[in-house]
Structure 1
Amino acid sequence: MDIVNQLVANGQFRVLKVPLGFIKALQWFFAIFAFSTCGSYSGMFKMSVECKNRTDSDLSIEVEFEYPFRLHQVYFDAPTCKGGNPERVFLVGDYSSSAEFFVTIGVFAFLYSMAALSVYVFALDKYRENNKGPLIDFGVTCVFTFMWLVSSAAWAKGLSDVKTATDPDEVLTMIDACDVEGNRCREVHDPVMSGLNTSVAFGFLNLILWGGNLWFVFKETGIIAPFMRPPPAQEKQPAPESFGQQAGYEQDPYAGSQGGYQPDYSQQQGGYNQEPDYTQQGAPTSFSNQM
């Protein structure tokens, strides 16, 4: 507990709050459900064979089967309705390959998710060093995404075949006594397949999680960083000046001390009363001199 408290105090578990660590934790969690619901399954169905001769009847025939669904090795004894030893009947089909493949991918995905979470929490800086960690993580995530797609699709098809092979109505057709008129064969209890249906659902859910995590792991590689740089900042253009400043009217040459235009009419009126001064240097003094 002291180590956990110290890690929490140092913020080591902060990575679980970001998509990279949070989705990896979900992958670890859902991988457990995927392989456990399939690998731990065991089912059973019941049938009854009622013969004309009641003493030869068997009204409770139980057939049990389990993972890895090698149904061709599962058998039961059914009455022949003719007296003597019962008939041994085997189920049909071997679906272990798709089931074991699905469980194997789930187990390895669980182990890798746990290892990746440990690296995120305890050695995140070393994980990002030299960009090797994100590249390896991205490659492995791509592989597991493809494996979840293949294994989930294969197991979905295998489960469909398992349901057909363990359908009591289909199994009754393999009993010879059920083909004889007067004998009555019927199903008593169907196998419960809800756990196997859940395993397929978790398989495709893991496919979505691993596929969605590709983007967040890819961003850690830094490959896309040069394409996500912001455009260079443009120089800020000066704000447009007012119309008066653009036209060259920054200063009003006619403005008075009070800021308004105040023409001086006294000088203009006084100028009309004065006679022209011809006494300037070099100008003629009188008209007679000019003659």
Structure 2
Amino acid sequence: MCMIFAICAFATCGGYYGQLQVKVDCADRRQSNHSINIKFGYPFRLQEVHFKAPLCEAKRDEVLFLDGDFSSASHFFLTVGVFSFLYSLLATIVYVFYQNKYLKNNRGPLVDFFITVIFSFMWLVSSSCWAKTLSEVKMATNPTQVLLLISACRAPENKCTATQQPLWSRLNTSVVFGFVNAVLWAGNIWFVFKETGWYKRGQRFPTSSESFRPQLSRQDGFNQSRGGFGQQVQRQGSFQSQVSLSLAHTYIGKPVIYDREKNVALQGPMIFVNEM
């Protein structure tokens, strides 16, 4: 995904060519309806863009140049796009074919994490600079602003009009792709961080407070169960003691053994049995 948006970003910016057209009508009818085509493009060194405009009084042409050099911001934006594309391609190859070496000693994820942070920051800075520079390019190539450079247009008797303006949709799209890349790379920071040892170490070893709480709860449960068991035994013992004290004694009598003549031969001891 990052590779696709990086290609779209530097392709829409690097291959741009624009054109504007103005028309000069001199008071002298011999040089009326004189159209001037001005072409410019990447890297937007407008001070090198020249065009010829008629001098109505002298009946000859003058060579004029546009104002401004905006190549630094466009170069910066394009460079970030190209390098991010190359790194994304390299990272994809490593993820697919060298996964074991990538995860070895945690060096691969750490390097990937820092580079991802750098590219997300660079995309944000370069896109912001390019957006500001693009507004300045639009102002410098505005046909109304270009007419002020022509000497013949300063004379009130001559008539100058703008017949064609540059198309900015492609450059506007490049700015949008730049900020989309910044969001994508910033979002990848979390996914790359999950591959590092910092995140895995935090998941493997819980904190002391978290590990201590379950022990306390188990110990409390054990004490509660032990206390409940003690209370149950105590209640059972007390119940048995109450029952044993409250039971009445029943006299059965002495066991008696008779002989053949039904005389008492042996008489045993007296036995008392608790009546339930």
Q: Shorter-chain TM-score: what band?
A: 0.7 to 0.9
Does residue 222 (structure 1) correspond to residue 197 (structure 2)? The answer is: yes
Are the structure 2 counterparts of residues 190 and 245 from structure 1 closer, same or farther at C-alpha, using a change threshold of 3 Å?
Answer: same
* CA shift for structure 1 position 32: 0.7
Distance 1:149 1:159 in 2: 15
RMSD: 2.6
* CA shift for structure 1 position 77: 1.5
* CA shift for structure 1 position 60: 2.8
Does residue 249 (structure 1) correspond to residue 235 (structure 2)? The answer is: yes
Structure 1: which amino acid aligns with 2:38? Answer: V
State the match for 1:168 in structure 2.
143
Asked if the contact 1:80–1:176 (Cα under 8 Å) also holds between the matched residues in 2, the reply is: yes
Q: Which moved more, 1:51-60 or 1:242-251?
A: 242-251
Question: Secondary structure of 1:45's partner?
Answer: strand
Question: Secondary structure of 1:223's partner?
Answer: helix
Report how many aligned residue pairs link the two structures: 238
Q: TM-score, normalised by structure 2?
A: 0.77
State the match for 2:271 in structure 1.
none
Asked if the contact 1:47–1:60 (Cα under 8 Å) also holds between the matched residues in 2, the reply is: yes
State the match for 2:263 in structure 1.
none
Distance 1:79 1:202 in 2: 41
Structure 2: which amino acid aligns with 1:124? Answer: Q
Distance 1:266 1:246 in 2: 30
Alignment of 1:117-132 (within 5 A): 117-132=92-107
* CA shift for structure 1 position 104: 1.1
* CA shift for structure 1 position 223: 2.0
Q: Which moved more, 1:136-145 or 1:158-167?
A: 136-145
> 2:112 aligned to 137, 142, 145, which one?
137
Distance 1:110 1:93 in 2: 30
State the match for 1:204 in structure 2.
179
Are the structure 2 counterparts of residues 130 and 187 from structure 1 closer, same or farther at C-alpha, using a change threshold of 3 Å?
Answer: same
Alignment of 1:1-291 (within 5 A): 26-228=1-203, 229-230=205-206, 231-232=210-211, 234-235=214-215, 236-237=218-219, 238=221, 240=224, 246=231, 248-250=234-236, 252-253=239-240, 267=250
5+ residue gaps, structure 2, are 252-276
* CA shift for structure 1 position 243: 6.8
* CA shift for structure 1 position 255: 11
Between the two proteins, what is the percent identity of the paired residues? 46
Structure 2: which amino acid aligns with 1:32? Answer: I
Distance 1:243 1:96 in 2: 84
5+ residue gaps, structure 1, are 1-25, 257-262, 269-291
Greater percentage in strand: 2
